[in-house]
Structure 1
Amino acid sequence: MSIRPAPLSKDDASDRLTAPAPPREGTLHELHVTNAMLDGIEAMTSAETQETVLQALSETLQSTTGAQEVLVFGDVSERHFGSPESQPAVLFPPKCGRALEVEQIEWFARRRQIRDLSRCRTPAAASLCGHSEGSLIATPCRRKNGRLMVVLCWHQEPGFFDESKAQVLSRLTAITSHALRGIRMDDRQSLLASVLENAEVPVMLVNPADQGGDVVYVNAAYEAMSGRTLSEMLGMMFITERFRPGADLDNLCSAFADGQRGRFRILNTKKDGAPFLDEISLTPIRSDSGTLRYLLATHTDVTEHAQTQLVVHQLEQRIESAMEAVTSAILATGADGEVLYTNTAMRSLLHELYGTEMRPHQAIATFIKSVEDSDQRVEVTCSDGTIFLVRSFDSSEGGRVITGTDITDIKRTKRVLQQRAAAMDSTAEGIAIVERTARINYANPAFARIFGTENPDDIIGESWCKAFRDEDVARLSSEVRPKVATEGSAQIEMRANLADGERTFEVCVTRIDEKMRIVVARDITRRIEYERARTSFEQKLHDFEKNESIGRLAAGVAHDFNNLLAVINGHSALLNDRTPPDKVQLYSNRISEASSRAAKMINRFLDLGMSTDQQSMIDLRNLLTESQDLLHSALSADTCFTLDLDEDEMEMLCSPSDLLRVALNLVQNAQDALGNKPGRIHQCLKRLPGVDLMDLRLDVGQIDPDQIYARYAVEDSGSGIPSDVRKRLFNEHCSTKGQRGSGIGMMAIAEIIRNHDGAIRLLTEEGKGTRVEIFLPLSDYSLTRISEQDIGSVRLDGQLVLLVDDDAQVAESIAAFLERLGAEVSICLHPDEALEAIEEDPGLWSFLVTDYNMPGQNGGQLARAAKTADGDLPIVIVTALARKLSDPNLTEDVISALLGKPVDLNTLAHLIAQHGRINSAEST
């Protein structure tokens, strides 16, 4: 339905045209004008577009007024509905392209009639029509919306337009405005219908006349959203049971009834029954008189939006909770200065600063101003000593965010770091922070002094290694860098040449991260000198104590050794031609037994002087058994001395001299504890698994549960050890016996046991005695030993033995024994003779037995030369210094065994039988 105004009939138009002035009778010109106006009016009222209306106007004016040019312009464009322009526009003729100014339009805001343009003083007239001569008439028309439209006619002749033509222009201008308004209303109606239909927003038009509203229109977007078509919705009530009850529904009903604007969220239902949250915007449509015609309702499915808002709200709550939880104070203001948010920490800070003297808003305003006056960064100290760093930031919305960060710990840490830096600068140890490439980034004065300067700045950028000797720096790549990479730190001793001479430094390199290291150089020159002096003193003290122990033992050894010599001499005197045969064997066995005891005593006595660096595989049972005579020599006659041995083997790789000194001094200490009174000293050697010893409370060392141990215990019935002495017994040289004390001391004993990976347990009670338990780890290696039943049962038939000894009597006695067992023995008194015999016929000899100490060359040199000449020749070295030798020639690939003097002939015979080569020529 068109809302264009009804066109004027010819009669109405005629009446309106003739109303201003009475018609002139019989004038053909007037008839022509009247007909032309009627035709023009009909053309304008039937036109469909603005352009055709203005074209009809131009033609009518040219016909009725004789105008040569017709120009229509206004202060707003009529080409597009409702779109105002910033510049005045020429509406007709189209595509005029003439630029207009606002002042020109304003000059034509009232009716103008210029008879001669050349005499017109106003430039707007000539510039607007584009002519400086001729005449013009112009009539303005105020539109309903107050906008101005002007119709101008021009003719080249001055005075061409009279008042009648001006009246015709006025009437046609009014009719044109009426026609244009109808076109605009049609355009508006069409445009609105198109907008509503094609809008993406669901739209519903409701007639509010009926109670509850009658739906008269829905667009395609609504159909798509709800699933209901226009035909289904027509006649349906706007307020329906599809709406779920709620506060917003009540507000919607109230607004609908009153014809008011509003936005409401209603839980609605789609055609398929799916619920959705419907946001309804209600807009009333009223007539010019204010009568409510329709209600326009836009619908939006905000289900997802609401869910998003819920998530956002929850997130905001979490953020707010987080902001409340942080220790930093936070204050946010909007662009207008309004405070948007303050957290608890900020409120507490404001309370600390201003107390209750100010109201909260005054405190906030004062605080904000103080921050702004302090260049947006200030430190604030509270009464409790807490320090806040207050900073101000501009927000993206034009407001400000002020934060207060608690920097109390940072300040405290800074002070600590400054104190540490001062300490580092004042310490005597050289400290440097260096890059991985060794380049110095920081050095304290002590480190700079290693470079020969007092100013650390002089060495920044230098390599820290330059201060030390090249040969020590060369060791860094192998001894330091790998450990720093794997373990994080490493130490090395390095030397530097300073003004006062060479100094030794203990250098510790510690990794900070992948790029940086800390180097600490500690001058240990004096410590090294002290340690050398201390080591020398301890060695002298050790030697003194050892010599004292040996000196004390010597008298007893001499006494026992003389007794053994007396046995040997006495029974030797009994052997003569008149001695009965049965007595010869008896006397001989006693001489042999006494000689064996004397040899063992001398060997063990020599063990006391052995180097502690020499280790050998021994059976601890044999060591103790063979040492009993020696140990007994250190005791008084009225001391009961006993030994219990386990039957199991107890093999270990050890220093026999060290263990013998331990046993001797434990026994001597036990004797000292007895004093001059009779008493008891008991020894016990037992084999025990480590797992059974884990619960023991040890004084020295620790137990490995996977190891087998030998426990050597020495127990006395003496005076015991006081508790105050016991605490320092293993940590310093001390004696529990005063002037009666002797031995190497328990501290030295502890050091020996530690070197053997052993442990010590001390049990004592004053007045009742002391028990010292030594735990020594045993070896898995087992020595091959000759059983008693094997002695004398071996035969050496076919063995060609070369015997070398510079003592003819010793050589002859050994040769006689071997020949009695079937061997053929050749004796050489000089090693050169023996070597010549071997080189003359390699492979001839079955076995080489040689002494060690001989003129020309020793047994080790002879063995090496003989092995070179005859690579398969078995060799045995016989020497009285078997436990003290450290000859590099005496290796397993050179000799088969090393036997001590006096030699055990049965052992020698078994070695020859086991390793000797049978000479086939001799055996046949």
Structure 2
Amino acid sequence: MDAAGTDRPLRSGGAAGGATAEPKEPVSGPSRLSASLPGLLAGLAGIGTLAGLFATGQAGWPVAGALAAGGLALWSARRAGAAATALARSDAALRQATDELEGLRDRSRDFAAVSPGWFWETRFDHRYLSLSGGLATLLRCDPRTVFGDSLLDLGLLVADEATWAEYRADIEAGRPFRDLEVSFEGVDGRDLVLRLSAVPVRDADGRFRGYRGCGVDATAETLALVEARFMQAVVHDAIDSVSEGFVLFSADGQLLICNEQYRRAYPTIADMLTPGRSFAEILRAAAERGGYEGEGDIGAWVEQRLTRHLQHSAPVDGRLSDGRWYRISEHATGTGGVVKILMDITELKTREEELAGKTVRLKQTVGALRESELRYRQLVELAPYGIVIWDRTAIRFANGAAAAILGVAADGLEGRPLAGFLEDGGEEGEALAATLATAATAVNGEERRLECDALRPTGERRRLEVAASPAVYGGGPAVLLVLNDITDRRRVEGELQRAQKMEAVGRMAGGIAHEFNNMLTAIGGFARLAERNPADPDRVLTCVQEIAKASDRAAALTGQLLDFSHRRVTDEREVVAVAPLVRDLRVFLKPLLSAGIDVAILADDDRAHALVNPVTLNQALLNLALNGRDAMPHGGTLTIALTVESPDEPFFARHRGLKPGRYVAIRVSDQGPGVPAGIRDRIWEPFFTTKEPGKGTGLGLWMVYGTAQQSGGAVELEGEEGQGASFALYLPAVDPPASPAGLDPLYVAEGEGAVILLVDDEDSVRRYLRLVLEEAGCTVVEASDGQEALDRYDEAGGLFDAVVSDVSMPRMNGLELARELETRNQLLPILFLTGYASREMAAGLTAQDGRQIVMKPVAPERLLGALRDLLAV
């Protein structure tokens, strides 16, 4: 067995144990010439055959025996003396050639065994002829499975088609090639990257006979390169994302990395801040381009600055030629390089200058502050909140309000421990006091806020809201406590929370769904009728009008839902058609009333309009209806009637602030016991109620009274005790808004229509709004979301007179769009359209001037009216 671990046949003429047999000398003499010619030729032919076997490595002991037999044949050939001598010499040469061949094969096998790649050979048609065993480990399969496959057709993939075309041309032309990298999917699903090189094999006539080549697994190297490039991109991205300027120099002063913020700080030498530039080159360029404002030799300045750069001196503040201030700090790296950090401190310097001026003014006001100290003490004493200074051991100061809250005399708090007034006055009080004490060391004056019980000496408990902040007393740390007695407020909130209105929302769901289905039936039905009869204009007009009515009814019902849940955005008064609002109360009342109560709504006068807040009006009517329900626990009829009337003189005598004229009167009547005469004057007071605890808040009629006052009207209790109660809500009647035959043009200049950027993610809504705006003479550019709107704005160069935008949109909502547009044009009017927006969102949308909110669905006149208001500002 050889060094490679494979069995090899023994060399011709060899003996066991490595011994070599000596060749016998041929017999000489005349008798040799008597051998027959056929015998000589036979011997020569046998030797030739054996030589061929030696050459292919297939000879062994049988071959040696055959060779001996051939020698005896020659010995018997009397005329073969000379031939025998030649055969002996050929035998020696053959053994030497065989040894060299075996050695060459051993070396080749050893080289192949230790090589990191493998070797392969193809025929003239590029089909694989042989593959070394190294490929088996990589492919995890027998390499012989690809014998006969073409080098060009093994599923190899090259990412760069142009590169593959060049390599393929070389292969098809039989030219040598190197480092061809290809992707290959192994039999186990792994993605491999192979690197191939080969040289052509030609015959004696120079004809191409195939390739001999080698290959290596470049998968790990390729993955490492990809990862390195990815990490380099990540590092560059991270450096570019910081707000400070950043630059890195190598140990020999060569620039390695520079972010965009650093380049922007030095615009005159931005072209020099590229990898490979030396720090000295950059300094000299800066000096030559105006960055050096000193006197003397520029070269000396460069050398001085270079020395400071190498010494990593402390941060230096400097002012550039454009007036900006920067703080430059340099830090050494572990490899001898230098990192420079550039921080813009222009604002800090400006504030320092402002602070210096303020310091002067502050000194001038100190005297005035001292003079006003007495006035501040008086304010503290008159404050409605308790104010206490506590040094964490005892109370050192307390105003009169604090003493009243804690139930002691005005001078009975100072010197007493705080814990005795908190919670149980014992361990719980101590624990709470320890919590408040942490405020003495709060960072940046941060407040500690909490709620707790205060224990009065009488045993009465009061609920307090306590704000604690750090203070100083007697030169040491202390705590400033502000005490707010919220006992009554918490009681009211508790009563309000016990109200059952939110439970009613769930019970209303069925009735609301029924109403909406009715409206959807009308909308869908009339739309289909109009679609079936497009040639009948009167029929189409009738259908369209009915669709509009159903749509308006749905919008009103949605608005009342928002009113009921206190979610409508606007609190402003508007002209309201009162009759539809009253009729829609039936939807809300059905689930709120018991089975024994019938509802009669008489509201047929659609001319009744009032200038009111629809939110508060809807809530006031619901309060009156629920009050009537509670008055009829055993059932009855609740009647809500609407009339337009002119009250008599006694009415105005009772309500002297009202002006004579027409009023919309809404009466809510029940068949209960009525209101006793002794409490008729008190029913409008807040928190007054005759109901059992937990059954009422005492705020319902008070809210109705407030709605009447805010609307310029009045509310009265009619009927006598024992005959049921009837509450009449009077609202000043106004004329209904005119219904224009068409839409007036929306001009921004003499005969020039407005250019509007329209943004809404709902296609149908966007088409409707566009038609309204175009009918008013506007030029409209559409966008389906905030991001697209920004693109359209930038493409048009910002040449828009106003923006009409939805609030809730994908990618970028209306508020985010407004903030982005504000950076481009702070005066751009923006009209927001929304089906719902919380009060917090509404406040954010209208925080800037030139913004309005209109609730969807929006009528054409409402849309154009709001835009006219914005463009007129």
| Bin for the TM-score computed over the shorter chain | 0.3 to 0.5
**Considering only CA atoms, is the larger Rg found in Structure 1 or Structure 2?**
1
TM-score scaled by length of structure 1: 0.37
